[in-house]
């Protein structure tokens, strides 16, 4: 089995959705990603937290075998994000972003992280994504995510990262922002022209559209979930399920592996959205995923 290195945010989120609110609940792209990926593979986290980071939040990742040697605790406060969802549950409205300890973060990889085969540059400032990637010796497969904030204030840097990855996972709004296209179908090949050989555009309840330079489109709906309690982290969970699945295979990822990985990411994300923060995701078992996959098969076959 191959190890996955992830760099991303570890956060306390304050979230408002039509189902209610959560105040300073555990979040961050690296947390969602690691919880999902660790069901299939060994995960190594690179990130930073502040003095307020709770021991039980370390323990949660540690009980899943996640290697936290690249996670530093420094004076100051943990990254804090405040968001709300109204009407469109697929698009978060950012109310506040407090970078806090991420502002002066200078990621240095522990020696044993440098040989990681899989690397995921989760949503975080693009220069930090680059700094981490430069320290990994010869990764087999590199993926990245981003978000509207970085596409607004650091688009050139995001484009620089894009040139160095095999795959980008991005949501539909961001794909349009990045390319100027007005739909996911035309945005996808434009993104692969920027560097990566594959792109997965996440479309909330409409599922995902993958496009690879080699084999073209692969498009499926999401698992139908009538009540979305909190969509935060669905994208990072998808990425974690996707990468976990790929890393658990013996061979170098093919398009077929990536198609299966998309379905695994989807099944995993369908759990995350059923409760606030990581509450649902932290409880998911391989058995739950299998059960959901069987229900999903009924949805997509005649």
Distance CA 202, CA 168 (A): 11
Question: Taking contact as CB under 6 A, which single stretch among the options 132-140, 232-240, 253-261, 291-299 is the one that binds ligand AMP?
Answer: 232-240
Question: Which runs of E-coded beta strand occur in 153-273?
Answer: 167-171, 198-202, 208-212, 216-220
Give the length of the chain: 302
124 is a contact residue toward ligand AMP (CB under 6 A): yes
Residue 149 sits in the site that holds ligand AMP (CB under 6 A): yes
Alpha-carbon span 261 to 147, nearest angstrom: 22
Question: Measured between alpha carbons, how far is residue 175 from residues 81, 149, 172, 183, 206 in Å?
Answer: 22, 13, 5, 8, 15
Sheet holding 167-171, edge to edge: 67-73, 42-49, 3-7, 118-121, 141-144, 167-171, 198-202, 208-212, 216-220
What kind and span of H or E run contains 188?
Answer: helix 184-193
- The window from 132-140, 219-227, 230-238, 258-266 that contacts ligand AMP (CB under 6 A) reads 230-238
With contacts defined by CB under 6 A, name the span among 21-29, 172-180, 245-253, 280-288 that binds ligand AMP.
Answer: 21-29
Residues that bind ligand AMP (rule: CB under 6 A) add up to a total of 17
Site string for ligand AMP, 80-119 (x = CB under 6 A): -x---------------x----------------------
Q: Which one among 5, 68, 109, 234 touches ligand AMP, defined by CB under 6 A?
A: 234
Q: Which of 187/234 has CB closer to ligand AMP?
A: 234
Here the tokens at position 61 are: 């990742």
Distances (CA, A) of 186 to 56, 193, 200, 209: 44, 12, 13, 11
Q: Site for ligand AMP (CB under 6 A): which residue of 126, 143, 235, 244?
A: 235
Contact between 17 and ligand AMP by CB under 6 A: the answer reads no
The answer to whether residue 222 forms part of the interface with ligand AMP (CB under 6 A) is no
- Closest contact distance (angstroms) between CB of 93 and ligand AMP is 12
Residues that bind ligand AMP (CB under 6 A): 9, 11, 13, 27-29, 81, 97, 123-124, 147, 149, 232-236
């Amino acid at each position: 089995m191959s190890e996955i290195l992830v760099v991303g945010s570890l956060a306390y989120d304050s979230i408002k959705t039509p189902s209610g609110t959560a105040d300073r609940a555990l979040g961050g792209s690296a947390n969602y990603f690691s919880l999902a990926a660790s069901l299939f593979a060994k995960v190594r986290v690179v990130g930073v937290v502040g003095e307020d980071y709770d021991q039980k939040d370390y323990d949660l990742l540690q009980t899943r075998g996640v290697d936290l040697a690249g996670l530093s605790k420094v004076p100051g406060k943990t990254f804090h994000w405040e968001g709300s969802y109204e009407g469109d549950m697929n698009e978060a409205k950012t109310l506040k972003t407090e970078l806090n300890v991420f502002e002066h973060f200078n990621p240095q990889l522990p020696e044993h992280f440098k040989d990681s085969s899989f690397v995921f540059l989760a949503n975080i400032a693009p220069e930090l994504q680059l700094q981490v990637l430069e320290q990994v010796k010869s990764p087999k497969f590199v993926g990245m995510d981003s978000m509207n904030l970085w596409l607004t204030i650091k688009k050139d840097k995001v484009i620089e990262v894009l040139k160095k990855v095999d795959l980008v996972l991005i949501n539909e709004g961001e794909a349009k922002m990045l390319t100027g296209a007005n739909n996911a179908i035309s945005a996808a090949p434009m993104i692969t022209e920027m560097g990566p050989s594959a792109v997965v555009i996440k479309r909330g309840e409409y599922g995902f559209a993958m496009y690879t330079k080699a084999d073209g489109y692969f498009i499926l709906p999401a698992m139908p979930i009538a009540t979305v309690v909190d969509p935060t982290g669905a994208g990072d969970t998808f990425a974690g399920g996707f990468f976990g699945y790929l890393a658990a295979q013996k061979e170098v990822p093919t398009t077929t592996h990536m198609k299966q990985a998309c379905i695994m990411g989807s099944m995993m994300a369908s759990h995350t959205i059923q409760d606030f923060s990581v509450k649902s995701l932290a409880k998911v078992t391989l058995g739950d995923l299998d059960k959901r996959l069987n229900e999903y098969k009924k949805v997509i076959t005649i």
